[in-house]
Structure 1
Amino acid sequence: MAAVTRLKVVLQHLRPGITAFPTSGEVAAQASLRSLRYTLEGRLLTPEQRQFYEENGFLLIKKLVSDEDIQLFRDEFERICRREIEVPGITIMKDVAINKAEYVEGQHAVSKIQNFENNEILFKYCSLPEILKYVECFTGPDIMAMHTMLINKPPDTGKKTSRHPMHQDLHYFPFRPADQIVCAWTAMERVDRNNGCLVVLPGSHKGKMKPHDYPEWEAISCHYASSHCYYIDVKGTTQENIEQEILELGRTKYGIYSDLTMADIWFLKGRLVQGERINL
């Protein structure tokens, strides 16, 4: 649009009555941006970034979270692993092979913690303004933090139990529309193919959801959704198996035997981080 603006100024000086119109290329570019499905109009994302996300389903924003905050999250994670603090509702997962092979204390035995929304230090990650300003480009201003996770990847024991298989996150979520759900994922140390980096299949966000099952790095993340999203009934869908797994966990771990659904559990887990809570 800069070229059009300059042309207007020049023409106004030459002949005040002349009106400048956008070129066909400018019109086509504006129409293309208006047709984008996965991002919202705003001043933060460039047209190139919006187009890249539309085609690939991810964006890389480097140095977004400060080293000081990352160290804060790492220290808190280690305190949780050492059982120095108790966090209501948190799930601590350990590497099966390490647990069977030897008694290991601390973070070297823990492969993942989930549901840390009741820990104010770790939940600070989900509320960072530098993250939320990007999240808003996908969800709009009313933002819910729906799922929190910190992945730890100690060296594999040789039994390949540290693998984190390819999956579609939507499989685990009983709310829609998918276009208004996004994840912020931050590596807490330098990662590459040798130590287990995040892997993305570009363009897979535009395909159908696949059936999921279980197969025979430190990073912190939060899944966000617009609070205008709505819950769905997953019975009779490929997500029904994960609902049964979650409900069974509620019965065995927490003694919950009431007639709950997966949507009920997600409603209790979700936490507002910006704007107004509408549906979720």
Structure 2
Amino acid sequence: MSEAKKRLETIFGHVRDGQTPSVTMKLASNGSRYRYTQDGGILSDDQRKFYEENGYLVVKDLVSPSELQTYKDRFQSICCHDVTIPGLTIMRDVAIAKSEYQPGERAVTKIQDFQFDDVLFKYCTLPSIIPYVSSVVGDDIMSMHTMLINKPPDPGSKSSRHPMHQDLHYFPFRPADLIVCSWTAMEHVHRQNGCLVVLPGTHRTGVLLQHEYPKWEGGVNKMYHGIRDYDPSFPRAHLEMGPGDTVFFHPLLIHGSGMNRTSGFRKAISCHYASSHCHYIDVVGTVQEQLAREVEGVAKKRLGENVEFSYKDLWKVKGRLVQGKEGNLSIF
């Protein structure tokens, strides 16, 4: 058994006996008894304790129906019209790519890196969301990764699933505790249409696990890596959410989503934030190196074989200042 898996077993062993997991509050470097949240933020003491122990926090009705409709309209416009947005990537499910052509937004399962689209980027700057972000990462905030997800009805191949993973697997910047994701349901999200599934408390191991493509018969979407040797017996929580409900979670929290068993598309919008005082790391020789080589290979096909860049360079162009001072993550 790997060292990382042993540490997960330690956390979850007593849960299987029907007990509630507990967290030991250790003094952070700033003298606070909290490690993962900032003093003086919007979070109540109960909310801080929940996030500290579980690695996520759901806040109800945080984004208004009118704002959600704006993002839906913009998504449809991008998918159905000739809209050029620098850096934006349009993705299709592996099953859709192999089937007959579907027009418009039904052909698109995700758009990501919309940081240069001023309509969608407004989500990343919402006054209702930013106070929660600053309660985790502080007041100097960079948007580092953006997505609008349009999870399709599963065609029977189970390809609409997203394997259990840790988001830090993709990020060449640290420290992990100064990174947080906001993920907002754009409609009713439930188990039938593939809500988020999380393993509470797994952020506290401090371990980035090995990831790889799962061996699924129906195929796996590009970059949908999952934890190697994932143990499905670990206790999990299904985050059923209403429109506008938003979950904030730590980048080491193990999470994924099930397949969409309905006939409709399940939409959500998200942004990963980091303190601008985070720093880039060299992933060579780490568990992230293989992913970096894959991403660089894809980028070479788009940019040209003669263009010189690194994995770190590719991430630098994804960032955009949200508030406060630019720091180590600035593109310049």
Q: TM-score range by the shorter chain?
A: 0.7 to 0.9
Give the drift of 1:89.
1.1
Match of 1:156 among 141, 154, 177: 154
For the 8 Å contact 1:111–1:162, the answer to whether it is kept is no
Q: Secondary structure at the match of 1:42?
A: coil
For the 8 Å contact 2:90–2:111, the answer to whether it is kept is yes
Match of 2:92 among 70, 75, 94: 94
Alpha-carbon distance between aligned partners in 1 of 2:309 and 2:287, rounded to the nearest angstrom: 19
Q: Secondary structure at the match of 2:315?
A: helix
Alpha-carbon distance between aligned partners in 1 of 2:306 and 2:66, rounded to the nearest angstrom: 43
The one-letter code of the counterpart of 1:100 is K
The one-letter code of the counterpart of 2:150 is N
Corresponding residue of 1:68: 66
The one-letter code of the counterpart of 2:327 is I
The one-letter code of the counterpart of 2:95 is A
Tell me which structure has the larger Cα radius of gyration: 1
Give the drift of 1:108.
1.3
Q: Secondary structure at the match of 2:109?
A: strand
Alpha-carbon distance between aligned partners in 2 of 1:43 and 1:260, rounded to the nearest angstrom: 38
Question: Unaligned regions of 5+ residues in structure 1, if any?
Answer: 1-28
Alpha-carbon distance between aligned partners in 1 of 2:272 and 2:97, rounded to the nearest angstrom: 29
Give the drift of 1:197.
0.5
The one-letter code of the counterpart of 1:237 is T
Corresponding residue of 2:312: 263
Give the drift of 1:193.
0.5
Give the CA RMSD over aligned residues.
1.6
Give the drift of 1:257.
3.4
Match of 1:57 among 37, 55, 58: 55
The one-letter code of the counterpart of 1:213 is E
Task: Indicate the percent of aligned positions where both proteins have the same amino acid.
Answer: 57
The one-letter code of the counterpart of 1:211 is Q
Give the drift of 1:256.
5.6
Corresponding residue of 1:214: 213
For the 8 Å contact 2:172–2:280, the answer to whether it is kept is yes
Alpha-carbon distance between aligned partners in 1 of 2:140 and 2:92, rounded to the nearest angstrom: 35
The structure richer in strand per residue is 2
Alpha-carbon distance between aligned partners in 2 of 1:118 and 1:72, rounded to the nearest angstrom: 16
Match of 1:245 among 275, 294, 302: 294
Corresponding residue of 1:41: 39
1:137-176 alignment to 2 at 5 Å? 137-176=135-174
Q: Which moved more, 1:70-79 or 1:250-259?
A: 250-259
Alpha-carbon distance between aligned partners in 1 of 2:144 and 2:60, rounded to the nearest angstrom: 24
For the 8 Å contact 2:186–2:268, the answer to whether it is kept is yes
Q: What TM-score, normalized to structure 1?
A: 0.86
Corresponding residue of 1:234: 283
For the 8 Å contact 2:71–2:119, the answer to whether it is kept is yes
Corresponding residue of 2:105: 107
The one-letter code of the counterpart of 2:153 is P
Q: Deviations over 1:101-135 (max 9, x none)?
A: 21101111111111011111011100111111110
Alpha-carbon distance between aligned partners in 1 of 2:305 and 2:61, rounded to the nearest angstrom: 42
**Which runs of structure 1 show a deviation greater than 4 angstroms over 4 or more consecutive aligned residues?**
none
For the 8 Å contact 2:41–2:131, the answer to whether it is kept is no
1:183-194 alignment to 2 at 5 Å? 183-194=181-192
Q: What TM-score, normalized to structure 2?
A: 0.73
Question: Unaligned regions of 5+ residues in structure 2, if any?
Answer: 1-24, 217-265
Alpha-carbon distance between aligned partners in 2 of 1:195 and 1:271, rounded to the nearest angstrom: 32
Higher RCO by CA contacts (8 Å cutoff, separation 6 or greater): 2
Alpha-carbon distance between aligned partners in 2 of 1:227 and 1:98, rounded to the nearest angstrom: 38
